[in-house]
Amino acid sequence: MNIKSKLPNVGTTVFTTMSHMATEYNAVNLGQGFPDFEMSEELAELVSQAMTSGMNQYSPMAGLPILLERLAEKVYNLYNTQVNPLTDITITPGGTYAIYTALTTVLQPGDEVIVFEPAYDSYIPNIEINGAIPVLIPLEFPTYSIPWDLVKSKVTARTKMIMINSPHNPTGSVIRREDIDRLREIVKGTNIFILSDEVYEHLIFDGLQHESILRYPDLLARSFVCFSFGKTYHSTGWKIGYCISSPSLMKEFRKVHQFNCFSVHTPSQAGLAEYLLNKEAYLQLGSFVQKKRDFFRSLMAATPFKPLPSFGSYFQCYSYKELSNENDKEFAIRLTKEYGVTTIPLSAFYKDGKDNKVVRFCFCKKEETLERAVEKLAKIKALR
């Protein structure tokens, strides 16, 4: 039987390809964004207790009320913004699901969505599968900052949404207050929605403030803000996240959600609700992960790679242009096969495969993992 593909240009993701190669060549995998150390034993025990105490049936569609209440408290404590736990928050099976559902909630065929590249790989397929059109704007290299004058020039009568991501995957750049001001200026008086991907909310470094859309009620009124428990608590395999929006937008979001996932793993929600009382578990996360960034950066000084700025997330990008003329995919494959270290080529985050001779490393690993990887990378000489 034949099927007309809704994503005819999409194949296996680079993450799957590179992770498979890492296994095949027994390479140190600094490609895909997940920790190789254990998550909190306390959190795991809380989930186990929820299971053994009988919390194993469907939770309410929007999420366990106690978890929604704790999240609303967290938002108020962090951002001085009041959100209604009953109407403004929905628990989802991962941040990526939240993003897809938000896009599906508002997009109609022919709508335009402004997307900044390099972009997390789900954005463009999620837009296209809804019949909408991604309007791609490159971030300014090498700082990966947003060219707001260009954004303004790209807004048309068909612009339905602007997508932002901070801290940014794959580059580690972060949005500043001046970015918020420019965004507010562009959307004021329009019907443009905002999707803010904030899954790395707490992984922000160097004393910077996370400029969450939740800080700005006027922007939140037109926004879907997406988060990930997996990134916060080193449990990426749990695939649990949530979305916060205004009541009218969340009502429509839940219409899509209820006929797709309906509800999320109940014991995990119960455990997370209890664990959220431990505020230090997320408040100290930025300094914990920054130490890993700094450690990796100090090790990488012994290699020919040149660091690009990283102010958040699990990732730091490095330029290899002084090492090789190869395109970044070829270079990443060579690193895996010949040197035993797996990275992600940054061209994978551009629809047209733009190649700035940059690869992305995940530094949220054990120190011994990072040491083993850099010991191999330090052996690299010019590969021209």
**276-317: per-residue pLDDT in tens?**
999 999 999 999 999 999 999 999 999 999 999 999 999 999
**237-266: per-residue pLDDT in tens?**
999 999 999 999 999 999 999 999 999 999
Superfamily of domain 14-39+283-377: Aspartate Aminotransferase, domain 1 (3.90.1150.10)
Residues of the chain with CATH 3.40.640.10: 41-280
SS3 119: coil
Q: Give the residue among 61, 78, 105 at the shortest CA–CA distance from 232.
A: 78
Give the least confident one: 1-5, 42-46, 66-70, 361-365: 1-5
| pTM, entire model | 0.96
The Cα–Cα gap between 53 and 150 comes to: 55
Residues of the chain with CATH 3.90.1150.10: 14-39+283-377
The Cα–Cα gap between 159 and 12 comes to: 30
The Cα–Cα gap between 137 and 151 comes to: 7
Tell me, which fold does domain 41-280 have in CATH? Aspartate Aminotransferase; domain 2 (3.40.640)
Q: CA separation (Å) from 340 to 16, 18, 23, 30, 306?
A: 17, 12, 10, 10, 19
* Token representation of residue 371: 């040491």
The Cα–Cα gap between 195 and 213 comes to: 9
